[in-house]
Each structure stands twice: as C-alpha cells, then as structure tokens.
Amino acid sequence: MTGEGLPVAASLAGTAWRAVSVAGAAPVAGREPTIRFEADRISGTTGCNQYFGGYTLVGGAIAFSEVGMTRMACDDAIGQIEGAFTSALTAATTAAIDAEGRLHLAGTGGEIVLEPDSEPATGGS
C-alpha cells in the first residue's frame, strides 16, 4: 500500500511517530526509527543515529531540508534500515494519514509508514 489516495496531513506540528515499515521492510524491534515534528523542525532517531532538520508541509506536500545526523556505527540490520529510512525521508514529497491513524511519508526513495509514538521525546533541540 502506498500513500496515494489517502487524506493529506494538514499539520504535523507537535506529533511524534515510530516507523512500522521502511521501504517495505520491518524495522528491528526496539530500534524503530522515530520522527518528532515541531512547527518547522524535525528530530528523531534512525534506530541507531540521531537526526534533525527542517520541513515544510503545505496541502499534503512535504519537503525536508538541512537534515543532519550523528555518525555512530550500526550493526548490519539496523544500518540497512537506517539507510532506507534516510533515503525515503529526504526524498519524501507527500504526507498522508490512513484510516488507522498511521502517517505515510512517500516519494522517490520509497515509503515510510509510522504509527503515533507514545514514548516521551528525549534530548534537546
């Protein structure tokens, strides 16, 4: 399933999400990538490294900018998901919410499907 045909996300500010699928692959349990949206900034983890950046969301069209991340070594399985996650995230052009309340970020790098994250955010801005 892709994000096509889903209702567009009007605003993501103040929300936090945990990946359930990255480019069709399930993340390593307990090391799922996360994303937290503020007014115009994002932060989260790839399952191994922390990342941060900016974003704009207009009418379901999303664009990420100036995404940077830490560079710790990851084991192979987590590293593969990290690579797919960062490729899909930086290439995402649409943001949609499905009937189950999952966020779909899709673009030429693949699709990331995320569910609301109830874990409190850690770290600073």
Number of helical (H) and strand (E) elements in the chain, helices listed first: 1, 8
Whether CATH 2.40.128.270 fits 16-116? yes
Please give the pLDDT value at position 123.
41
pLDDT digits (tens, 9 = 90+) for 69-94: 999 998 899 999 999 999 999 999 99
Whether residue 89 contacts residue 4, with contact meaning beta carbons closer than 8 Å, is answered with no
pLDDT digits (tens, 9 = 90+) for 24-56: 999 999 999 999 999 999 999 999 999 999 999
For a pLDDT cut of 90, what percent of the chain falls above it? 79
Q: If phi over 0 gives left and psi between -120 and 50 gives alpha, with beta otherwise, what is residue 101? A: left
DSSP state of 76: H
Please give the pLDDT value at position 118.
78
User: Please, which residues have CB within 8 angstroms of residue 118's CB and are 6 or more apart in sequence?
Assistant: none
Query: Structure tokens of 25?
Result: 């692959």
